[in-house]
Chain A
Amino acid sequence: MDLIGLFPTWYEPLIGSGWVIGLIATIHVLFSHTAVGAAILFAVLAYIGVRDDRPELIDFIKKYGLFLLVFSYILGSITGPGIWYSTTVGSPRGISALIHNFVWKWATEWVFFVIEVIGVYMMVYMAGKLDRRTYMKVAIIFGLTSYTTMLAIVGILSFMMMPGRPEQWFAEGGYLYGFYGPNTFAQLAIRTAFMFTMTAVVGGIVAAGLKDAAFKQWLLRRLAIVGGLSAIVGMSLYPWYLGTLPGIAHLVMENRLPDYFTPSILIVLGAMLAYFALTFIRPKIVTATLAGFATLAILVLGLWPGETVRESVRKPYIAGQYLYSNQVIGHDVPGMGVKSEIPALQKAGFTQAHIFWPESQREITRENAPEVGRSLALTACSNCHSLSDTGIRPLKNYFPKQADIEGIKTYLLGALSTGNTMYMPQIPLKEAEAEALAVYIASLNDPDAVSRYRAESQTAQLDHRSDEEDK
């Protein structure tokens, strides 16, 4: 029997697992970028403090260090594994693909994490205790490791979209071709720019607490310049980034991105520039609250659409352009000895090939068809379509209210089984499976569909029997 290594499915009916992951990821991106931004800012302040012999700056680092620690490092270091854990349950084979390709890169990043954690405590608690040169050295180590953590992760993020050099990776495999490609560097450039923008906004929260008014003004003006410039640079790098995306991503983008997307990005950019211009002209108005609000606004308005795009543009894949969102391997990767699972599914169907399929549902009968259909929807669709009214792309909304089972079945066999849609994976279904799924889908909009189907089945059986009696 051809078994396929599919894991059980987790399905969150209220908002869908996709959103849970997205939410945690967005929070993490905020904290981690903030952490890197704040690390750089603190290293710069330490440098100035030491160079110009300004002990009040060192005191300041000590005082705000706790803020930095709690709000970015601690929360960043919890939500980091948090994304990982949530992806694990939402897409076990997706995370597995990343882990098995890049475990050493992740482990390398972990070394930097350990250094960073020691570094952040030392920056805060050793300020004033270490001599100047030593403190500087700690600051430099801390700043550099913060950046190397980003270097280490960006290729992995990029692999989720596509292998660095797709052709070479598919043919030869290996870490380097998976990790590095034009997309990796485009993403790195944008993220680096964005990191400085984050530094500038978060820096506002920190700078608002400075006592020395002249210095505060000096710092805020510089932050405004850094923030404004990096926002412009980051945005102007976008065409480069888009140019490195695979063709299918462009199709998806043209057809599937929500209409509000482009305007909302432009509004965010405009608002950011306005904010930086304002703080440049009138640094006095910056309070911790205002800067905190600006940070939050960037989170909600800027990061969320960005993460949404990354999520939707790589459809139907979840990693490396070979693993589908619904966990099925959709393409051979000869270089890594990976075989597509589509043929096995075509041959045996989910009901036979899925390791965790309930035994009582391996045979499809008219009686258990709705239940089998639900199992199929959970397994093959729920990663991208919520099965309830709420959540991501509710499945019921994509079928007419009065859809008949036959019609749905025809669609499933005609479009999904054959892989004739752009943004959905090929989902091979045996005829009986398609029927079972159709019964279930029909029942989403019309609860009576099941009883009608069963009644039909009785008539069918009756017909059958009378046929036999006729003989």
Chain B
Amino acid sequence: MDTAMLYALRDPLGVPAHPVIFLVLAVLTWALHIAAVHVLLGSSALAIRGAFSAQDHWRRLADAMVNTAKVAVSVAIVIGVAPLLFVQVIYDPFWYTSNVLSAWWVIAFIFILIVATLALFIFYAMNYEIRHKKVRAPSAMIIAIIGFLVVGFIMHALSVQTLEPDQWREWYAPNGVIDASGRSIHAFDPWRFGFFILLSFPVIGIWLFGYRRYLQGAGESDAGYLDFLQRLGTRLGAVGGVISLILLTLWMRGLPEDISDFATGIWPIAAAAALIVAVAYPVLLGKRLDRGMWGYTPVLVATVAMIVVATMREAVRWVTLFGVHGYNPLDYKIAMDWYSTGLFFLTFGVLGGTIVAYLLTIAWQAGQTEGTYTPSRAVNLLGTAGVVLLLLWIAQYFGFGLWTAYK
């Protein structure tokens, strides 16, 4: 597959804003997607571990983690939509080829994800009282975890296949005969996959610090449980961090010849450093963890670390596709569209920002309040602003729409 062919596969429509915007959004939203996936996998794992423990703290944690997993699955899915969108805007030649060549798995992805999610909800619904009663239907949770791993593996293979354009023809037509069935997975990298999956352990470890702080805010009386969370979080961070670093090293060592320089460059070091900082940070905070808002900061630091990891992942794609194959996503033809570009950023920044801030604030504050929660005037105003913005949005939709359609 030479460079001209890769360019020929681009959509002649071009892109409606500068490609770098899509690139940045793809990396940022993917970082959030994978962070939600880590919380999902990590909380599911802790839930099943706790479900089989006789210890009260573990059982309480299992209860909390089932609830976390249940929300995390929705968040992981809904956030996954964003990188899915942005990746195919600028990397369409790669994304579509990879998907079509494993079409059967792409379809299977959907059904496996449905089964896994339903299994998670079944486990949840069967175990309302997991804290005090024996676990029911643990197999549902195990099915869910296996399902999520398979789904993640399909995602992984699709990503890795995009990086090997030279193999595409052989995959499509082995020995010159077209195989259009899409039944094969053509490429995967166990170290890379292992790295992205097992990052769940340090991530959930750090998440436990945030959870601990949240309990403190709600006036938690069981100091032993808070200690338990801190110890467990630290341990998961340390052990998980080491495992992740090993896998990162193995992934880098196994990079194809033509980009092997990457392994010794700045990116893997940056990613490793970010991970080390993220897991060491709560330990370094020490006593400050219990003061003010400090207790939440490990989650923020970890989010930044995930963005660094996501950027490194993008850099692998860049050196492969641009460095080796000459494809530069940033020279995509631009068919600038101001209206829809502006509408998105206003919706995202103003409307979305306002409403999400409002909803999360009341959810968080209500969770910390005994009895009925009444928001402050400022928070109330935020909500009213959200409703007004929604109405404005609808008005502009019909305004521009009717004018365009019937003028």
> In whole angstroms, what is the CA distance A66 to B343 when docked?
34
The answer to whether B347 and A13 have CB atoms under 8 Å apart is no
| Inter-chain contact B373/A145, CB cutoff 8 Å | no
Q: Flag the segment in A108-116, A194-202, A272-280 that touches B.
A: A108-116
On whether A5 and B9 interact (CB within 8 A), knowing A105-B340, A180-B405, the answer reads yes
- Contact residues, B52-110 vs A (CB, 8 A): 71, 73-75, 77-82, 84-86, 88-89, 92-93, 95-97, 99-101, 103-104, 106-107, 109-110
Question: Once the chains bind, are B400 and A180 in contact (CB under 8 Å)?
Answer: yes
Lowest 8 CB-CB distances: which A-B pairs, in order?
Answer: A89-B103, A360-B176, A92-B96, A10-B103, A104-B340, A82-B110, A11-B180, A358-B173
Binds B, one of A127-135, A210-218, A235-243, A397-405: A127-135
A248 at the interface (CB under 8 A from B): no
Contact B386 A102, beta carbon cutoff 8 Å: no
- Say how far B14's CB is from chain A's closest CB, in angstroms: 7
| Interface presence of B114 (CB below 8 A) | yes
Indicate if B217 sits at the interface (CB-CB under 8 A).
Answer: no
Task: Write out the residue numbers on chain A whose beta carbons fall within 8 Å of the beta carbon of B84.
Answer: 81, 84
Instruction: Give the complex CA separation of A148 and B10 in angstroms.
Output: 31
Q: In the complex, are the beta carbons of B359 and A336 less than 8 A apart?
A: no
What separation, in Å, do the CA atoms of A151 and B363 have in the docked complex? 27
B109 CB contacts on chain A under 8 angstroms: 85
- Interface-located stretch among A70-78, A289-297, A428-436: A70-78
Interface positions of A from 353 to 368, Cβ below 8 Å from B:
355-356, 358-361
Are A103 and B15 in contact (CB-based, < 8 A)? yes
Distance in angstroms from A363 CB to nearest chain B CB is 12
Assess whether A121 is in contact with B71, with CB atoms less than 8 Å apart.
yes
Stretch of A93-101, A308-316, A411-419 contacting B (4+ beta carbons < 8 Å): A93-101
**Cα A378 to Cα B103 with chains together (Å):** 15
Contact pick for A356, options B172, B359, B394, CB 8 Å: B172
CB pair A148 B117 closer than 8 Å: no
Q: Give the contacting residue for B14; candidates A7, A100, A122; CB below 8 A.
A: A100
Q: Which residues of chain B are near A24, meaning CB under 8 Å?
A: 107, 110
B27 at the binding interface (Cβ < 8 Å) = no
Residue pair A338, B391 in contact (C-beta under 8 Å):
no
Contact B394 A144 (CB under 8 A): yes
Say yes or no for A119: interface residue by CB 8 A criterion: yes
Contact assessment for A107 and B85 in the assembled complex, using a CB-CB cutoff below 8 Å: yes
Are the C-beta atoms of A129 and B366 separated by less than 8 Å? yes
- Size of interface on A: residues with Cβ below 8 Å to B: 103
Does the CB pair B74–A117 fall under 8 Å?
A: yes
Q: Is the CB of A165 within 8 A of B85?
A: no
A1-37 at interface with B (beta carbon < 8 Å)? 3-5, 7-13, 17, 20, 24
In the assembled complex, how far is the CB of residue B35 from the closest CB belonging to chain A, in whole angstroms? 14
A104 with B16: in contact, given A74-B74, A114-B352, A141-B359 (CB under 8 Å)? yes
Distance to closest chain A CB from B55 (angstroms) = 27
- Interface status of B139 (Cβ within 8 A of chain A): no
Q: Is A114 a contact partner of B340 (Cβ separation < 8 A)? A: no
Residues of B within 8 A of A80 (CB): 81
Residues of A within 8 A of B11 (CB): 5, 93, 96-97, 99-100
Residues of chain A whose beta carbon lies under 8 Å from any beta carbon of chain B: 3-5, 7-13, 17, 20, 24, 66, 69-70, 73-75, 77-82, 84-86, 88-90, 92-93, 95-97, 99-108, 110-111, 113-115, 117-119, 121-122, 126, 128-131, 133-134, 137-138, 140-141, 144-145, 147-148, 151, 155, 164-165, 173-177, 179-182, 184-185, 329, 333, 336-339, 355-356, 358-361, 371, 374-375, 378, 382
* Residue-wise interface mask of B (15-39) relative to A, using a CB-CB cutoff of 8 A (1 in contact, 0 not): 1110000100100000000000000
Measured in the bound complex, the distance between the Cα atoms of B76 and A30 in whole Å is: 23
Residue of A nearest to B25 (CB): A107
Query: A115: which of B81, B339, B355 is its contact (CB, 8 Å)?
Result: B355
Tell me, in angstroms, the Cα distance from A12 to B372 when the chains sit together.
56
Query: Which listed residue, B10, B81, B406, touches A110 by the CB 8 Å rule?
Result: B81
Q: A107 and B82: CB pair below 8 A? A: yes
Contact, CB under 8 Å: A144 / B97: no
B394 near A148 with CB under 8 A, answer yes
Is B172 a contact of A8 with CB atoms below 8 Å?
A: yes
Contact with A along B148-188 (1 / 0, CB 8 A): 00000000000000000000110011001110111000000
How far apart are B363's CB and chain A's nearest CB, in angstroms?
Answer: 6
A329 B373 Cβ-Cβ under 8 A: no
- The minimal Cβ–Cβ distance linking A6 to chain B, given in whole angstroms, is 8
- Residue B284 at the A interface, CB < 8 A? no
Nearest-Cβ distance from residue A108 to partner chain B, whole angstroms = 5
Contact call A371/B77, Cβ cutoff below 8 A: no
Residue of A nearest to B344 (CB): A104
Given contacts A85-B107, A103-B85, A113-B78, is CB(A108)–CB(B373) below 8 Å? no
Q: Chain B nearest CB: distance from A466 CB in Å?
A: 32
- Establish whether residues B16 and A175, one from each chain, have CB atoms under 8 Å apart when the complex forms: yes
B360 interface residue per 8 A CB criterion:
yes
Q: Is the CB of B121 within 8 A of A358?
A: no
Taking a contact as CB atoms under 8 Å apart, the answer to whether B82 and A110 are in contact is yes
Q: Could you tell me the distance between the alpha carbons of A138 and B359 in the complex, rounded to whole angstroms?
A: 8
B117 touches A78 (CB 8 A): yes
A450 to B275, CA, bound (A): 62
* Chain A residues within an 8 Å CB radius of B319: none
- The answer, yes or no, to whether B348 is at the interface (CB within 8 Å) is yes
Tell me whether A81 and B390 are in contact (CB under 8 A).
no
Q: A134-B373, A359-B176 are in contact. Are A99 and B14 (CB under 8 A)?
A: no
- Residues of A within 8 Å of B14, CB to CB, are 100, 336-337
Which chain B positions have C-beta within 8 A of A137? 380, 383-384, 386-387
Can you list 25 A-B pairs with a CB-CB distance of less than 8 A?
Answer: A85-B106, A88-B106, A89-B100, A89-B106, A96-B13, A96-B96, A99-B89, A100-B16, A103-B86, A105-B344, A110-B82, A111-B347, A114-B78, A114-B356, A118-B359, A121-B74, A130-B366, A130-B372, A148-B393, A164-B405, A165-B404, A175-B340, A176-B339, A176-B404, A355-B1
Contact indicator A145/B101 (Cβ below 8 Å): no
Note all chain A residues with C-beta closer than 8 A to B106. Answer: 85-86, 88-89
In the bound complex, do residue B394 and residue A177 qualify as a contact, i.e. CB atoms below 8 Å apart? no
- Contact status A118-B356, CB under 8 Å: yes
Are B178 and A70 interface neighbours, CB within 8 A?
Answer: no
Task: Provide the bound-state CA to CA distance between A108 and B16, in Å.
Answer: 14
**Inter-subunit contact B383/A141 (CB<8 Å):** yes
Is B351 interfacial (CB-CB < 8 Å)? yes
Pairwise interchain contact A88-B9, C-beta atoms closer than 8 A: no
Contact of B5 with A by CB under 8 A: yes
- Given A100-B13, A174-B337; 6 other pairs, CB 8 A cutoff: A7-B9, A88-B96, A103-B15, A111-B348, A164-B405, A359-B176
Assuming the contacts A7-B97, A129-B373, asked whether A107 and B348 have C-beta atoms less than 8 A apart, the reply is yes
Contact A70 B81, beta carbon cutoff 8 Å:
no
Structural contact, B359 and A374, CB atoms closer than 8 A: no
**Minimum CB distance partner of A387 in chain B:** B180
B266 at the interface (CB under 8 A from A): no
Known contacts A81-B84, A118-B360, A336 near B12 by CB under 8 Å: yes
Complex CA gap A97/B335 in Å reads 13
A-side contacts of B390, CB under 8 Å? 141, 144-145, 148
Q: Could you say which of A74, A89, A360 contacts B182, with CB atoms under 8 Å apart? A: A89
Q: Report A-chain residues with C-beta under 8 Å of the C-beta of B219.
A: none
A378 and chain B: residue at smallest CB distance: B180
Q: Once the chains are docked, how many angstroms separate the CA of A151 from the CA of B402? A: 13
Contact A144 B391 (CB under 8 A): yes
Distance in Å: Cβ of B103 to nearest Cβ of chain A: 4
